[in-house]
Chain A
Amino acid sequence: MSYFRVEKLVKKFGGLTAVDEVTFEVGKGEIFGLIGPNGSGKTTTFNMISGVYPPTSGKVVYRDREIQGMKSHRICHLGVGRTFQVVKPLGRMTVLDNVIAASFSRVNSMREARGAALRTVEFCGLAPVREVLARSLPIAGRKRLEIARAMATRPELLLLDETAAGLNPTELVEAIELIRKIRENGTTIVIIEHIMHVIMTISDRIHAINFGQTIAEGTPKEVAANQAVIEAYLGTDYA
């Protein structure tokens, strides 16, 4: 059986079908890219996987277990972590406290949680700012904090939602490094990204959607050459 898959996932908001029968499979240890123009339903797909809201229909299967419709906190405990595209720092807590709060999902004592959080903060390169209030971090730091917090819940499957958006070229290189490091740790990653350079470099396979529907899937090379993908991004006039 597959490690993780979504089957005919549908989400309707009133009359709008945001995600329409999207199906894909992710293998263990893979970096799987999810691309599509703005409003194509990528984040909605993530929200259904991570339990922010249930799908209208369809299945989310993680390690042979259907998790669609479960509450976010239970999905987290099953080993699925996520970051938010619109970053959600716990503003009036320090960076370290943000990560400690996340570490408590796996341990109960303060000592263990702090120890685990210190390691995660170090791993994600946030050690120099660990005593800073999360709300005073610049955007690159906030994106990193999103990753650090998700990592502190010790996910086996990590959903990264546009963690590279808004970063400058130096920060981009660092972000790519960090994502690779996370994969080397044995974490499977599904990543949404608009920056083609990032998604094309790190993904093993890419799934493209437009208006909620699948338009292509394959290796980065195959997807980049796909006519439907080019049309979706550039419009039929320029494709």
Chain B
Amino acid sequence: MKKNLYQLILPAVLALLPMAVKSEYFLHLMILFLLWVVIGSSWNILAGYTGQVSFGHAAFFGVGAYTAGLLFQHLQVSPWWGMALGGIVAMLIGLPFGAICFPLRGAYFALASLALGEGIRHIATVAEGFTGGMMGIMIMPTFTSKAPYYYIALGLAVLSVLSIRAIINSKPGYYFVSIREDQDAAASLGIDTTLYKNISLSISAFWTGMAGALYMNYMGFIDPNVVFSLHDYSVMAILVAIVGGVGTIYGPAVGAFIMVAFQEFFRTGFFGLFDYLGKATGSPAFTALSGAVRQAHVLGFGILVIVVILYLPNGVVGDWEKIKRNVFRINPAG
């Protein structure tokens, strides 16, 4: 009963948010959060559930973004059409790649995914005639207000999480987890491991590509170093899932919230705390510190991940019982 209540309240709050909160800045953060829900959940179905760790999800994100951007630039097709296509093109990029890597076991897929992400970034940079190279792609945003983007991102996040949840609780989901736990056992139970790894990759690439295309629509500008960024997308996708909980349905959503908040916390110099202290005390030390902190978010991520791995190896959602016990002192037995 209590759980059902949460399940009603949370969507209601998210749906009504743009009406209650007029801050464009806050909505921008929420849109980023929702994009990360999609990317994190996508990474999670492949790595968390199927056990195929990807270091190259920027490839799918960037390909989705470029699909939307290039369709508009070359053919004047609305980038919203590009959104549907972005997912499909990302999936098509993933398929031959999976077909090559998945019959192999071990670290091959992880290593090759790293190469895929970096390789496509270079291709996008070099193929100037087609992609505009380092100049990137600029399109006019459809909406001036952020609210429509917020709702589209919300729709995408809800759809992706619910569809992934449905898949996980059905035959493919059982097959994914079986492959993660033991490939030989999985094969002996009639599971075509190569096929199901490819299915998992396709689902993952599809939603990541959709998120990329939405990013193109929303930001209005992309270049290869932004959307194919190893640390901003490929690694961030991993961090989102690890912090929230690898192999849990809602883990990446929680991880996305934490990571976006954490990044913003650093980017703004602890929400302007250091700037304020600098002004209040007149000490140049605080102003200098403020500048340092703003650039230290990657260091912050590193520390956060170490803390999470040490104390919450299954992530916030995966170790929720542990958190309740130790932090909130809730003892289920007593």
Contact = CB atoms under 8 A, between A and B. Distances in A.
Do A and B associate with each other? yes
Interface of A: 50-52, 71-73, 76-77, 81-82, 84, 88-93, 97, 100-102, 104-105, 108, 110, 113, 149-150, 152-153
Given A71-B192, A102-B189, A104-B174, 16 more contacts: A72-B188, A73-B193, A76-B187, A81-B188, A89-B182, A90-B181, A91-B182, A92-B247, A93-B178, A102-B190, A104-B171, A105-B189, A105-B190, A105-B191, A108-B171, A153-B189
Determine the main DSSP class of B at the interface with A: helix
Contact of B171 (A81, A90, A92, A113): A113
16 contacts: A50-B188, A52-B187, A73-B189, A76-B189, A81-B188, A88-B184, A89-B181, A89-B185, A90-B178, A91-B181, A93-B178, A101-B174, A101-B178, A101-B189, A105-B189, A113-B174
B161 interface: no
Given A149-B189, A153-B189, A153-B190, A84 B181 contact: no
Given A90-B177, A93-B181, A110 B188 contact: no
B7 interface: no
Contacts of B174: 97, 100-101, 104, 113
B175 interface: yes
Contacts of B190: 73, 76-77, 102, 104-105, 153
Given A100-B174, A110-B170, A110-B171, A76 B188 contact: yes
Contacts of B331: none
Contacts of B178: 90, 93, 101
A51 B170 CA distance: 27
Contacts of B326: none
A51 B186 CA distance: 13
A105 B175 CA distance: 10
Contacts of A73: 187, 189-193
A25 to B, nearest CB: 23
A91 B174 CA distance: 13
A84 B188 CA distance: 9
Interface string B197-214: 000000000000000000
Looking at B169, B187, B189, which has the most chain A CB atoms within 10 Å of its CB?
A: B189
A82 B185 CA distance: 9
Contacts of A77: 190
A93 B185 CA distance: 13
Nearest to B181: A90
Contacts of B187: 51-52, 71-73, 76
A97 B182 CA distance: 14
Contacts of A81: 188
Contacts of B169: 110
A91 B180 CA distance: 10
Interface string B156-178: 00000000000001110011011
Nearest to B194: A71
A81 B185 CA distance: 11
A228 to B, nearest CB: 32
Contact of B177 (A82, A88, A101): A101
Contacts of A84: 184-185, 188
A90 B193 CA distance: 14
A52 B188 CA distance: 8
Contacts of A92: 177, 181, 247
A88 B193 contact: no
Greatest chain B CB density within 10 A among A71, A88, A100, A150 is at A88
A139 to B, nearest CB: 16
B170 A88 contact: no
A21 to B, nearest CB: 26
Contacts of A97: 174, 177
A110 B174 CA distance: 10
A101 B189 CA distance: 8
Given A110-B170, A149-B189, A104 B175 contact: yes
A152 B178 CA distance: 14
A216 B15 CA distance: 75
Nearest to A154: B190
A106 B231 CA distance: 43
A150 B186 CA distance: 11
A88 B188 CA distance: 10
Q: Kindly list the 7 A-B residue pairs having the minimum CB-CB distance in the complex, ordered from nearest.
A: A105-B190, A72-B187, A76-B190, A88-B185, A90-B181, A101-B174, A102-B189
